[in-house]
Amino acid sequence: MTSVQGTAVDITTADGVADAYLAHPDDGLPHPGVVLYQDAFGLRPHLKSMADRLAAAGYTVLVPNVFYRYGRAPLFGLPEFIDPEARPEIFEEIFPVMRALTTELFLRDAGFYLQWLDDSPLVQEGPVALTGYCLGARLALLTAGGFPERIAAAAGFHGGRLATDAPDSPHLVAGNVTAELYFGHADEDASMPPEQQRLLEETLTAAGVRHRCEVYPGARHGYTQADTAAYDEAGTERHWAALLDLLDRTF
Instruction: Give the active site residue among 19, 24, 134, 171.
Output: 134
Cβ atoms of residues 57 and 2 within 8 Å: yes
Residues 6+ apart with CB under 8 A from 43: 19, 20, 21, 63, 64, 65, 73, 74
* E strand or H helix at 79: none
Decide if 221 is catalytic. Answer: yes
Residue of 19, 39, 109, 189 marked active site: 189
Backbone angles phi, psi at 11, to 5 degrees: -120, 115
* Secondary-structure breakdown of the chain: helix, strand, coil percentages, each rounded to the nearest 5: 35, 25, 35
3-state secondary structure of 172: helix
CA distances from 10 to 7, 201, 204 (A): 10, 36, 34
Instruction: Kindly give the residue spans of alpha helices, DSSP state H, lying in 21-89.
Output: 45-56
Q: What is the DSSP string of 201-226?
A: HHHHHHTT--EEEEEEEEEETTTT-T
Question: Does 232 participate in catalysis according to the annotation?
Answer: no
- Residue whose C-alpha is closest to residue 152's, from 23, 248, 25: 248
Q: Is 165 a catalytic residue?
A: no
Active site residues: 134, 189, 221
